[in-house]
């Protein structure tokens, strides 16, 4: 029974040590339905078609060979023409890759697009946006013949309800396309956020929201999405992040031009939702004047005009021990709204944020008017007003927790060994007393094995700690302590000192576990292997004879 204490400590440890980072876009890679037909013909449009029935937009499905076998616009592609095929996905999707193919047409086709551009639409943007890659390019690589597909990973991904492919050619040529889009439905529900654009730090670090796709009126960003909601976590060091082209990701604001005012970020959601938490991934390089905000206030609104009701106020306890970023979680107590306003107060000269994510679910209640929301809050949400709102303990600073985990781990291991020693001594004394002649102690193994085994295996407390949930990171130490045979093997050994090697291993194991995830490696690029070819390369002669005199018209 005495074992309960230390086991509980060991069991709590994994809570500090587990830290799983899942980058959404890398799991979001399913074909969205051009090839399979999940996207209906009615949801595929085009600027024009050479012949609707034969090569209309609905023929533009990749790896399909029906009628003309591709979508072909009426005009030939030149740098000045603008033709497109459009896919309506109905709801916001994260589009992580596109794929194109030319018109094979059973060997009769000769048309394909060597390159193309993308445009996308979201209702909150109210306009079509030309897609730009991370390197600020608009042109994506297309095809080199009529049958080979070419797939392009979109970096950054696109958040859109509709997407258009615009074939492009630097010289005049006839193009036809078959396409597919890859990604997943967007479930987080943020349709846009608005906030002040980031600031420049020193002369070289522009801590802007580079991928923001809404409007920038010189000061404020409006109606778009960008780095704060892209699911990508910036590297720990913002300077490094800025200089590595592929891994920017901190948006930063400085205090000195704001006259003590907080940073205000307003999130708009697809519908009225009930919120349980918001997570802010925040830089804490305090030696460079960057720190987690000192206070955050969270306001809710149904229509976005008035933020009624008490805000949720959250104080962050200043934390200048480790410079690693903090994932600060704020509980939102099931508050309801379609707009959420965050105010972040400066603790230092700079606030740098990489990612803001909400835990929420759509509500079914009738919240058509602001007044109704007020009634609702007064009716059953009284919890949220008053001083209970302050939840300093709800700050889950996982990176800091790791170091705490190491310390607790070492302590726990020490406690376990002490208990073992005490048990050993108790045993020793009991045997000593019961033994008629103390000088004739029988074989140690025979003496100790039976009682210890019996007690350990019948104890319900012992069964509890075998719960696999607790067993995660401390493979070495906890596993060893928990398994009865090891414990017995240990008993006959010198009990006064814990074996140094074991403690050493336990400590290093924790340390390795603890420091691992702090490095925040960018996710591996999804799907960097080309998709398998579906069509055999047709015999060269067939392809050549099929189109010899019908190839594109040169410039
Ligand atoms: C922020 O700037 C204001 C003046 O603009 C100053 O009063 C305040 O102390 C500053 N806060 C921090 C945390 O530097
Ligand atoms: C922050 O913590 C929450 C809850 O533990 C988690 O869901 C989220 O993915 C974390 N965010 C980052 C950027 O680590
Ligand atoms: C919501 O409430 C308003 C006023 O109370 C009412 O007019 C409206 O019909 C209700 N809507 C739904 C969907 O119940």
Tell me the per-residue pLDDT of 184-216, one tens digit each, with 9 for 90 and over: 999 999 999 999 999 988 887 889 998 999 999
- Ligand 3 centroid to residue 366 C-alpha, Å: 6
- pLDDT value for 25: 57
Nearest CA to ligand 3 atom 14: 366
- pLDDT band of residue 419 (cuts 50, 70, 90) is confident
78, two tokens: 């030149």
- 428 or 453: which carries more pLDDT confidence? 428
Domain finish residue from 341, 371, 401: 401
Of the chain, the percentage scoring pLDDT greater than 90 comes to: 51
Q: Ligand 2 pocket test: pick from 22, 236, 249, 279 the residue with the most ligand atoms within 8 Å of its Cβ.
A: 279
- Ligand 3 centroid to residue 272 C-alpha, Å: 14
Q: What is the mean pLDDT of residues 143-153?
A: 96
- pLDDT value for 411: 80
Q: Ligand 3 pocket test: pick from 366, 370, 373, 375 the residue with the most ligand atoms within 8 Å of its Cβ.
A: 366
Q: What is the mean pLDDT of residues 65-85?
A: 94
Residue 32's Cβ-count burial label (10 Å; 0-12, 13-18, 19+) is: buried
**How many CA atoms does the CB half-sphere of 307 hold within 13 Å?**
16
- pLDDT value for 414: 80
Query: In 3D, which of 548, 280, 543, 520 has the Cα closest to residue 396?
Result: 280
- Give the ligand at the shortest distance from the Cα of 291: 1
- pLDDT band of residue 466 (cuts 50, 70, 90) is very low
Q: Which atom of ligand 3 is nearest to the CA of 368?
A: 1
| Domain co-membership, 167 together with 242 | no
- pLDDT band of residue 328 (cuts 50, 70, 90) is very high
| Domain co-membership, 107 together with 202 | no
| Domain co-membership, 264 together with 250 | yes
Alpha-carbon dihedral 439, 443, 448, 453, rounded to 10 degrees: -160
Q: What is the mean pLDDT of residues 211-239?
A: 90
Q: Is the pLDDT of residue 543 over 80?
A: no
- pLDDT value for 257: 82
| Domain co-membership, 131 together with 152 | yes
Residue 274 inside a domain? The answer is yes
- pLDDT value for 502: 43
Question: Which residue range forms the structural domain that includes residue 227?
Answer: 189-401
- For 8-37, the pLDDT digits (tens) are 333 333 333 223 333 455 689 999 999 999
| Domain co-membership, 280 together with 302 | yes
What is the spatial distance between Cα 101 and Cα 61, in angstroms, rounded to a whole number?
9
Cα–Cα distances in angstroms (integers) from residue 442 to residues 69, 231, 438, 550, in the given order:
89, 65, 10, 100
Q: Which atom of ligand 1 is nearest to the CA of 260?
A: 3
Q: Is the pLDDT of residue 464 over 70?
A: no
| Domain co-membership, 139 together with 115 | yes
Helix (H, G, I), strand (E, B) or coil at 236: coil
244, two tokens: 């590595």
What is the spatial distance between Cα 48 and Cα 57, in angstroms, rounded to a whole number?
8
- pLDDT value for 406: 65
CATH number at residue 314: 2.60.120.1190
Residue 223 inside a domain? The answer is yes
- pLDDT value for 522: 42
- pLDDT value for 408: 66
Q: Is there an atom of ligand 3 within 6 Å of 368 CB?
A: yes
Residue 54 inside a domain? The answer is yes
Residue 456 inside a domain? The answer is no
Nearest CA to ligand 2 atom 8: 279
Ligand 1 binding pocket (C-beta < 6 A) is: 255-256, 259-260, 346-349
- Ligand 1 centroid to residue 344 C-alpha, Å: 13
Q: Say how far residue 279 (Cα) sits from the centre of its chain.
A: 11
- Ligand 2 centroid to residue 285 C-alpha, Å: 19
| Domain co-membership, 166 together with 250 | no
Q: Is the pLDDT of residue 412 over 80?
A: no
Strand pairing class (295-301; 263-282): unpaired
- Ligand 3 centroid to residue 187 C-alpha, Å: 26
- pLDDT band of residue 331 (cuts 50, 70, 90) is very high
154, two tokens: 């979109």
Residue 332 inside a domain? The answer is yes
- pLDDT value for 246: 58
| Domain co-membership, 315 together with 257 | yes
| Domain co-membership, 66 together with 134 | yes
Q: Which atom of ligand 1 is nearest to the CA of 348?
A: 13
CATH number at residue 77: 2.60.120.260
- 210 or 262: which carries more pLDDT confidence? 262
Q: Is there an atom of ligand 3 within 6 Å of 458 CB?
A: no
Cα–Cα distances in angstroms (integers) from residue 542 to residues 106, 150, 487, in the given order:
10, 22, 76
Q: Is the pLDDT of residue 168 over 70?
A: yes
Residue 470 inside a domain? The answer is no
Low-confidence winner among 59-68, 306-315, 380-389 (lowest mean pLDDT):
380-389
Residue 390 has phi, psi (to 5 degrees) of: -75, 120
Q: Is there an atom of ligand 3 within 6 Å of 519 CB?
A: no
**Residues contacting 406, CB < 8 A, separation 6+:** 507, 510, 511, 514
- pLDDT value for 465: 37
What is the spatial distance between Cα 475 and Cα 523, in angstroms, rounded to a whole number?
26
Domain finish residue from 345, 368, 401: 401
Residue 93 inside a domain? The answer is yes
- pLDDT band of residue 308 (cuts 50, 70, 90) is confident
Q: Is the pLDDT of residue 551 over 50?
A: no
| pTM value > 0.95 | no
Please confirm whether the linkage preceding 156 is cis (ω < 30° from 0).
yes
Residue 130 has phi, psi (to 5 degrees) of: -75, 130
| Domain co-membership, 150 together with 291 | no
- For 35-57, the pLDDT digits (tens) are 999 999 999 999 999 999 999 99
Q: What is the mean pLDDT of residues 499-524?
A: 41
- pLDDT value for 403: 56
- 459 or 123: which carries more pLDDT confidence? 123
Of the chain, the percentage scoring pLDDT greater than 70 comes to: 64
- pLDDT value for 239: 78
Nearest CA to ligand 3 atom 2: 366
| Domain co-membership, 135 together with 210 | no
- pLDDT value for 542: 34
Q: Of 94-98, 424-428, 457-461, 540-544, where does the model show the most confidence?
A: 94-98
Residue 465 inside a domain? The answer is no
| Domain co-membership, 312 together with 253 | yes
Number of domains in the chain: 2
- pLDDT value for 236: 84
- For 430-454, the pLDDT digits (tens) are 765 555 444 444 444 433 433 333 3
Domain finish residue from 342, 377, 401: 401
Q: Is the pLDDT of residue 349 over 50?
A: yes
């Amino acid at each position: 029974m005495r074992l309960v204490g230390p086991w509980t400590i060991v069991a709590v440890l994994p809570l500090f040590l587990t830290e799983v980072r899942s980058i959404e876009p890398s799991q979001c890679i399913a074909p969205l339905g051009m090839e399979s037909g999940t996207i209906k013909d009615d949801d595929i449009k085009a600027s024009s078609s050479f012949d609707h029935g034969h090569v209309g937009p609905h023929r533009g499905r990749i790896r399909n060979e029906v009628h003309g076998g591709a979508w072909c616009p009426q005009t030939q592609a030149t740098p000045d023409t603008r033709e497109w095929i459009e896919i309506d996905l109905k709801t916001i999707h994260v589009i992580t890759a596109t794929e194109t193919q030319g018109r094979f047409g059973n060997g009769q086709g000769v048309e394909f697009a060597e390159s193309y551009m993308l445009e996308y639409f979201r209702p909150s943007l109210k306009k079509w946006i030309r897609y730009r890659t991370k390197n600020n390019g608009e042109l994506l690589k297309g095809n080199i013949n009529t049958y080979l597909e070419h797939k392009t990973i979109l970096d950054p991904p696109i958040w859109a309800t509709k997407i258009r492919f615009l074939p492009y050619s630097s010289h005049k040529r006839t193009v036809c396309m078959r396409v597919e889009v890859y990604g997943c439905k967007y479930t987080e529900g943020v349709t846009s956020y608005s906030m002040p654009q980031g600031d420049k730090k020193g002369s070289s670090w522009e801590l802007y929201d580079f991928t923001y796709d809404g409007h920038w009126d010189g000061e404020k960003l409006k109606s778009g999405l960008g780095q704060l909601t892209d699911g990508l976590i910036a590297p720990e060091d913002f300077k490094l992040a800025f200089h590595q082209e592929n891994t920017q990701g901190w948006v930063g604001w400085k205090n000195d031009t704001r006259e003590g005012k907080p940073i205000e970020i307003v999130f708009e959601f697809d519908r009225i939702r009930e919120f349980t938490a918001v997570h802010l991934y925040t830089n804490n390089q305090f030696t460079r004047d960057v720190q987690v905000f000192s206070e955050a206030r969270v306001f809710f609104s149904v229509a976005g005009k008035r933020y009624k009701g008490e805000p949720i106020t959250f104080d962050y306890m200043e934390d200048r021990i480790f410079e690693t970023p903090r994932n600060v979680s704020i509980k939102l107590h099931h508050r309801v709204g379609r707009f959420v306003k965050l105010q972040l107060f400066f603790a230092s000269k700079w606030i740098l944020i990489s990612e803001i994510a909400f835990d929420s679910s759509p509500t079914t209640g009738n919240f058509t008017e602001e007044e109704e929301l007020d009634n609702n809050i007064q009716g059953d949400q009284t919890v949220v007003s008053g001083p209970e709102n302050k939840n300093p303990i709800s700050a889950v600073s996982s990176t800091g927790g790791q170091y705490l985990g190491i310390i607790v781990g070492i302590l726990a291991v020490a406690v376990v060994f002490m208990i073992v020693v005490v048990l050993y001594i108790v045993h020793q004394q009991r045997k000593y007393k019961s033994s008629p002649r103390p000088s004739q102690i029988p074989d140690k193994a025979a003496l100790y094995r039976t009682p210890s085994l019996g007690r350990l295996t019948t104890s319900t407390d012992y069964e509890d700690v075998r719960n696999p949930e607790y067993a995660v990171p401390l493979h070495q130490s906890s596993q060893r302590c928990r398994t009865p045979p090891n414990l017995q093997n240990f008993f006959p050994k010198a009990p006064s000192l814990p074996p140094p090697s074991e403690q050493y291993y336990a400590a290093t194991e924790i340390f390795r576990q603890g420091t691992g995830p702090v490095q925040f490696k960018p996710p591996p690029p999804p799907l960097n292997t080309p998709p398998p070819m579906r069509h055999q390369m047709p015999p060269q002669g067939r392809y050549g004879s099929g189109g010899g005199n019908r190839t594109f018209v040169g410039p």
